[in-house]
Chain A
Amino acid sequence: DAKTTQPNSMESNEEEPVHLPCNHSTISGTDYIHWYRQLPSQGPEYVIHGLTSNVNNRMASLAIAEDRKSSTLILHRATLRDAAVYYCTQGNTPLVFGKGTRLSVIA
């Protein structure tokens, strides 16, 4: 069973920031937090990952709570191409996916 929980769906306006939450309350000290996204009819795409500190890359930012039991993926300016299902995972491979959050972006 998936160890993470996420809202089923979220909606954002184009060019606005989006904050996608994830709860991973059973995370252990060595478990990484990864985020992937999946566009329709495609395999998942890596977005970002972290262990304890907040992380930034060209795609997004990852904010990790101090107790590591939750994290937030931040898309700074949502575009129509960001519409996808976003999955957070905890731990190492094999990755176990929850239901993810379906992000809709409105023009």
Chain B
Amino acid sequence: GAVVSQHPSRVICKSGTSVKIECRSLDFQATTMFWYRQFPKQSLMLMATSNEGSKATYEQGVEKDKFLINHASLTLSTLTVTSAHPEDSSFYICSARERTGWRTEAFFGQGTRLTVV
């Protein structure tokens, strides 16, 4: 199956600093990638849809200036958590679908555990 790689898998940062998370589709091209956030014991919440070469679309309640998304190529999207605070501590997960479109399933990265201290 298609592989989505997310890096880093775990990061601890100080309050007020910024953290960048990378999401790569390793063996397919992804026009669109998706970013989710998951708090303990809860389901995945969609944060934004990342489109290659254009601005991301954010879900209601997600601050676009705080969660910067860049999708510069068909295989890479990045999420930057700016001026992180302890309440931003969460499990962040990216997802991608193949560009060709005949496959309907989505593939997920392994997730990034962010802890802000």
**B111-A94 in contact (CB<8A):** no
**A44-B44 in contact (CB<8A):** yes
Q: Say what secondary structure dominates the interface of chain A.
A: loop
Q: Say what secondary structure dominates the interface of chain B.
A: strand
**A94-B43 in contact (CB<8A):** no
**A43-B110 in contact (CB<8A):** yes
**Given A32-B104, A97-B44, A100-B43, A44-B34 contact (CB < 8 Å):** no
Interface string of B76-117 (1 = CB under 8 A from A): 000000000000000101110100000011111111010000
The 8 Å CB contact of B49, one of A32, A49, A94, is A94
B4 nearest CB neighbor, chain A only: A43
Quick check: is A45 within 8 A (CB to CB) of the other chain? yes
Quick check: is B6 within 8 A (CB to CB) of the other chain? yes
Give the interface of B toward A (CB within 8 A): 1, 4, 6, 32, 34, 36, 42-46, 49, 91, 93-95, 97, 104-111, 113
Give the interface of A toward B (CB within 8 A): 2, 32, 34, 36, 41-46, 49, 87, 92-100
Given contacts A95-B106, A99-B43, 18 further A-B contacts (CB under 8 A): A34-B105, A34-B106, A36-B108, A41-B113, A42-B111, A43-B6, A43-B93, A43-B95, A43-B111, A44-B108, A45-B108, A46-B107, A94-B34, A94-B49, A94-B95, A95-B46, A95-B95, A99-B42
